[in-house]
Amino acid sequence: MLEDEKKLVEQAKQGDASSFGDLYDHYVQPIYRFILLKVSSGEEAQDLTHDVFMKAWRTLPNFQERGFPFSSWLYKIARNRVIDHYRTKKPNTSLEDFLQVESEEFLEGARFETEFDIKIAVTEVKKAMKSLTEEQQDVILMKYVEELEIYEIAKILDKKEGAVRVIQHRALEKLKKKFGKTNEK
């Protein structure tokens, strides 16, 4: 969590663009990453990330902090935006179809610190994620990539913490099997 986050959020709620800028700088990376791993290309991830922060800025005056970090709210917006994206843009295309897109196209627009091994990791994760439900993907990405706490994930998904733990366990079991198969090949 960002230092002085509450203060920044309060100031941004009053229309302080600079405070929102600080929040943007801090959260754009995890939100972009979360979206990138759920859509077919880096460009789409950029567009959706922009939409998420635009919505956050526009509706921030109505944001009510209820004991959860600001990031939970952002992830919730991001998740809904991705769902809308699939619903409106490609009504007859499933998430699985998107995940079939070649990794080169998928990675376009994204930047990696160590290009080679990350590209391999992304390709492996993409393949393995095909076996998971959308909810399981969300939990895995939030828990192991973004390292969110279970209570935060529960808040974002509107679920009980116990239910999130069950989803996480099942998803991890599936992934272990998938990665096992991939490594055997």
Residues at the site binding other proteins, with contacts judged by CB under 8 A = 15, 17, 20-21, 24-25, 28-29, 32-33, 36-37, 42, 45-46, 49-50, 53-54, 57-62, 109-114, 117-118, 121-122, 124-125, 140-141, 144-147, 172, 175-176, 179-180, 183
Return d(Cα 153, Cα 159) in angstroms, integer. Answer: 8
Write down the least CB distance from residue 183 to other proteins, Å. Answer: 8
Return d(Cα 153, Cα 150) in angstroms, integer. Answer: 5
75: closest CA among 131, 172, 145?
A: 145
| Cβ nearer to other proteins, comparing 31 with 154 | 31
| Cβ nearer to other proteins, comparing 89 with 181 | 181
Return d(Cα 47, Cα 44) in angstroms, integer. Answer: 5
Return d(Cα 109, Cα 150) in angstroms, integer. Answer: 31
| Cβ nearer to other proteins, comparing 113 with 158 | 113
Contact 70, 26 (CB under 8 A): no
| Cβ nearer to other proteins, comparing 61 with 160 | 61
